[in-house]
Amino acid sequence: MSQLFTPIELGKLTLKNRIAIAPMCQYSAEHGKATAWHRIHLGHLALSGAGLLIVEAAAIEAAGRITPQDLGLWDDETEQALGSVLQDVRSYSTMPIGIQLAHAGRKASTDVPWRGGGFLQPEQGGWQTSAPSAVPFSDDDNAPVALTLERIEEIKQAFVDSAVRADRLGLDLVEVHAAHGYLLHQFLSPLSNKREDQYGGSLENRMRLTLEVFREVRRVFPADKPVGVRISATDWVDGGWDLAQSIALSKALEAEGCAYIHVSSGGLAPQQKITVGPNYQVPFAAAIKKEVAIPVIAVGLITEPRQAEAVLVEGEADMVALARGMLYNPRWPWHAAAELGAKVDAPEQYWRCEPHEVKGLFNS
């Protein structure tokens, strides 16, 4: 029996299989509000047969957006807009849906990727960024403002408020974004965190904000719904955040009741040197899995069904998450089930498309 298509529990949430659709920024919101694009995008992904769909990073405050077009969940208008999209998606899909909550920190105020992704000045629609320390991501960026303790408390409260909104929307899961060089990752890494107070210096201090944010989100999000964390296992830069520190953070998160660790890498510094290839981030997940008892999700150019199956069979992770591969082939779980001899959910309207050679593929 295919391990990829066996159930798994994230906290008290049971998933039908071990395929997650990773959060993927669409840069298609209007002042943080979900649009018709999100209805189409999430709608077809929710019909894919994956075990879990995680909505793209939603900014917990307007200043926390990566671009002016980022999705948000910081006020009634953004909540209502996303709620309208989710209502339609749920009309035709029972797939569990989670959301990633994020703050971009010094990587905020940039243009969308298809226009180059460069830093936006205020006259271009950008804004003043903030970070642990006044260290810009790139030499071409304006320096961020170092966060005061008062602003840190406001950001923590914003994560809490967004988590409450996520619950009101009926979302099944919250993922705290502490990866890819965004604000919480900036606090974790000594490359971007030069503080000399309780949030800087030692590993314990640099982990403090991520743990505090997790603890507060866990406190307000219902106990029967999981809260997980996405991390970058390494900065891929000497002297930066690395695997040993990621293992320490994962253990600390597990002790706080974290439901899973979603393991990616990089994104903090332009100096990163990454050799990209199939499974290139899986060894990080495997190393963390050896040190914690909670589920670990692997990502990183996992594109083929038997490749994904092998990650699980070899004990390197408990789930796999696909992002770009799912955009390229939104029915990836169907094809994986067909190749691995498993069954998968599909909408009744599509049952007639089942190929003759894999009759019985769709659950009914």
Residue 363 lies in a domain: no
CATH code of the domain containing 263:
3.20.20.70
Token duo for residue 218? 């866990």
Residue 3 lies in a domain: no
The letter for the amino acid at 341 is G
Residue 91 lies in a domain: yes
Token duo for residue 217? 């989100």
Q: What is the pLDDT of residue 275?
A: 87
Residue 364 lies in a domain: no
Q: Which residues span the domain enclosing 59?
A: 19-329
Residue 12 lies in a domain: no
Residue 190 lies in a domain: yes
Q: What is the pLDDT of residue 364?
A: 73
pLDDT one digit per residue (tens) for the chain, 364 residues: 899 999 999 999 999 999 999 999 999 999 999 999 999 999 999 999 999 999 999 999 999 999 999 999 999 999 999 999 999 999 999 999 999 999 999 999 999 999 999 999 999 999 999 999 999 999 999 999 999 999 999 999 999 999 999 999 999 999 999 999 999 999 999 999 999 999 999 999 999 999 999 999 999 999 999 999 999 999 999 999 999 999 999 999 999 999 999 999 999 999 999 989 999 999 999 999 999 999 999 999 999 999 999 999 999 999 999 999 999 999 999 999 999 999 999 999 999 999 999 999 999 7
182 tagged catalytic: yes
Catalytic residue among 182, 199, 280, 328: 182
Domain count along the chain: 1
Residue 47 lies in a domain: yes
Residue 237 lies in a domain: yes
